[in-house]
Amino acid sequence: MEYRKITSANDWRDLWLGKFISELKTKTLSSEESDSYRAVLAEYLTAYEGNPREIDLKKMKQFVSKQKNRAIPPLVLFYQSVARSDKHLELLNQLAATKEKPASKK
């Protein structure tokens, strides 16, 4: 087995993104959806360098909010299948549930 030499934040981002892309290939997503997932995760990993399991939950919530919640499905997949983190998944599930609630009528 060949090991990659990781010397920079970009190397780490590319490593996590590569693992995510491998996971995407196992899913039945359209090419547009797969490209969108990949773009969201690349932006997320670029914005927050380091171990994705250690990204502050407030920062992740801000990212999801800026993305108008389109980041939820790719981040759920990432934190379920690539960089398992129950605390991130819990928050993402809460955000998804909030998004799905119908607006109250006044």
Q: Residue 15, by phi and psi: left (phi above 0), alpha (psi -120 to 50) or beta?
A: alpha
The model carries a pTM of: 0.85
pLDDT in tens, the chain (106 residues): 555 676 777 888 889 999 999 999 999 889 999 999 999 999 999 999 888 999 999 999 999 999 988 999 999 999 999 999 999 999 999 999 987 654 544 4
Q: Measured between alpha carbons, how far is 56 from 61 in angstroms, rounded to an integer? A: 9
Token pair 């499905």 in the structure block, residue: 73
Please answer whether residues 40 and 67 qualify as being in contact, where contact means their C-beta atoms are separated by less than 8 angstroms: yes
Please answer whether residues 79 and 89 qualify as being in contact, where contact means their C-beta atoms are separated by less than 8 angstroms: yes
